[in-house]
A = this chain, B = another copy of it.
């Protein structure tokens, strides 16, 4: 994937310990920080998302990164660049959507500029005080692989929207347009875990997250596909199993813990070795880089 290659280049140039997790953890400041870009017609289309939903989602995807760190979300800044034809109403709706996602997490600043297409960059800041911060390189042999929520729903919603069905009351469409960052579950984990653990959100798909944890922690993740929670109505879609594993944008959490916390389901175990093994009943498949590349959304 081009993104991975470029991240490799960035890591080489910066030679930094910080790059690699959903959030950078600045220990001496007690801060976790994350920044995500959302680009019109790459990450979203104004054909199917409203300014309100766009604001909501822009905030939520960053809050989800804070959740993945185990930190406490504190505040957000927003860089918003918009075409000249968009006016006050767009900005008002966008910010109201953000506010709904933020609940108590304050939007403290940012920038607004012109642009040909909509560019959004949100930075979220959290604190580590009283929390154990995760790292995708911290998975330990014997830990259980735990996931929150349902997987594949967002991908199903996107497929519905791409078929020009703008049914915004559809549960899958809702899952895609207005996901919920799992700050509740993250808080429980961050506050009550006293050992090293890995945690990521499933923004780029469950498979991608499992692969990243395996790679960074030098361990094998063995997953029982049947244990991954999903909405049974997903089975009506073609290649629904791929939606569960590669769909992305569910913004659920996947963590390796010695005990499954409230609100999470155990889908497998961390073992000695490398890679990700998915057991479909009697069939075992090993997740490959090529399969991830082919099935995970690539915005380049």
Contacts and interface: CB of A to CB of B under 8 A. Distances in A.
Contact of A37 (B16, B43, B79, B88): B79
Contacts of A107: 14, 16
Contacts of A36: 79, 111
Interface string A72-115: 00110111110010001001100110010000001111111111
A25 to B, nearest CB: 9
A115 B39 contact: yes
Interface string A275-300: 00000000000000000000000011
A41 interface: yes
B5 A109 contact: no
A113 B119 CA distance: 11
A121 interface: yes
A63 B291 CA distance: 42
Interface residues of A, number: 59
A42 B109 contact: no
Contacts of A300: 84, 113-114
B113 A35 contact: no
B19 A92 contact: no
A259 to B, nearest CB: 30
- Counting every copy of the chain, the complex holds 2
A6 B112 contact: yes
Contacts of A29: 31, 74, 125, 127
B119 A88 contact: no
B10 A77 contact: no
Contacts of A7: 112
A35 B121 contact: yes
A239 B111 CA distance: 30
A166 interface: no
A34 B77 CA distance: 7
A19 B108 contact: yes
Contacts of A5: 88
A37 B121 contact: yes
A195 interface: no
13 contacts: A6-B91, A13-B91, A13-B99, A24-B109, A29-B31, A34-B109, A41-B116, A42-B115, A77-B123, A79-B121, A114-B299, A115-B117, A119-B119
Given A16-B107, A113-B300, 18 more contacts: A2-B84, A3-B112, A6-B88, A13-B91, A23-B109, A24-B77, A26-B74, A29-B74, A33-B125, A35-B121, A37-B79, A37-B119, A39-B113, A39-B115, A42-B116, A79-B79, A84-B300, A119-B119
Interface of A: 2-3, 5-7, 9-10, 13-14, 16, 18-19, 23-24, 26, 29, 31, 33-37, 39, 41-43, 74-75, 77-81, 84, 88, 91-92, 95-96, 99, 106-117, 119, 121, 123, 125, 127, 299-300
